[in-house]
Structure 1
Amino acid sequence: MLKSIIPKLPMRNKATTKAYYHNLGFKQLGETDYDGYLMIKKDDIEIHFFEFKDLDPNQNYGQVYIRTNDVEGMYDYCKKNTVKIHPNGPLEIKPWGTKEFALMDPDSNLLTFGQIV
């Protein structure tokens, strides 16, 4: 039986990635600091990152859709913490019945937060 999914996204610089996601409220998972690998967690969401120093952010199509039960709260949190909202991803109700917004991390991984309305 399937229980969860944990995306693995590329990162160029572990310290930069860790700082960006810390600003989103994520914490490092566990006490061990793995070389070239980062695991973070917020609430029930876990994301892993692998080091890819030669990543061209303009060629990265990593994407994660994160379902939430308080998209407006997450949106307000991001704005309060000066997290840049993707120019094409403002908070809005989509034709498919979800309220969403999107962010782009420093490596051009797209994060979309959505709630069924």
Structure 2
Amino acid sequence: MTKPQLSHAQPQLPASDVEALAAFYKDKLGFTIDYLYGDPPFYALVSRDGAHLNLRKLSTSVINREAQHQEQLLSAAIPTLNVESLYEEFQKQAVEFFQPLKQQPWNAKDFIIKDPDGNLLCFASPT
């Protein structure tokens, strides 16, 4: 019997407006909108390289955003090659940074962005 192997994860991020959030990921972060589902859309898949994110319409937040931001509770962590270049790319797009590019004591360099719905995404490279 062949051993099962996980290929990747697809976090599901809450969205107040799926179409608008998908546009943010496309226009500001360079993702592709793979699909929007529903009329009006209540579900979407966006991707860039090997990263895939599901966007899901929620009428009320299931997360206390204030607590999330105080505790830096990430919605997704995305391993990245050449995190410095990605940081510069996002700076040019005027993306809101929750944490600037930073060398971490665990031998990684990372930064955290906050999307329009308050989701925190960490992009990191090993150093």
User: The TM-score by the shorter chain falls in which range?
Assistant: 0.7 to 0.9
Contact 2:101-2:110 at 8 Å conserved across structures: yes
Divergent runs of 4+, >6 A: none
Residue from 65, 74, 85 that aligns with 2:86: 74
**TM-superposed deviation, 1:58:** 2.5
TM-score normalised to the size of structure 1? 0.88
Higher RCO, 1 vs 2 (CA within 8 Å, ≥6 residues apart) = 1
Structure 1 position 90 matched with structure 2 position 93 = no
Q: Deviations over 1:81-100 (max 9, x none)?
A: 111111xx110110111000
**Structure 2 unaligned runs (5+)?**
none
Alpha-carbon distance between aligned partners in 1 of 2:53 and 2:125, rounded to the nearest angstrom: 19
Equivalent in the alignment of 1:25? 30
Q: Deviations over 1:3-43 (max 9, x none)?
A: 1111111111112201211110011114xx30210100101
Letter paired with 1:15: E
Query: In the comparison of the two structures, how many residue pairs are matched?
Result: 113
Equivalent in the alignment of 1:10? 14
Contact 1:57-1:107 at 8 Å conserved across structures: no
**Structure 1 unaligned runs (5+)?**
none
- Higher-Rg structure is 2
Alpha-carbon distance between aligned partners in 2 of 1:57 and 1:82, rounded to the nearest angstrom: 25
**TM-superposed deviation, 1:53:** 2.0
> Structure 1 residues 77 and 94, CA, compared in 2 at 3 Å: closer, same or farther?
same
Deviates more, 1:106-115 or 1:57-66: 57-66
Matched residue SS, 1:3: coil
Alpha-carbon distance between aligned partners in 1 of 2:23 and 2:104, rounded to the nearest angstrom: 30
Please tell me the root mean square deviation across aligned C-alpha atoms, in Å: 1.7
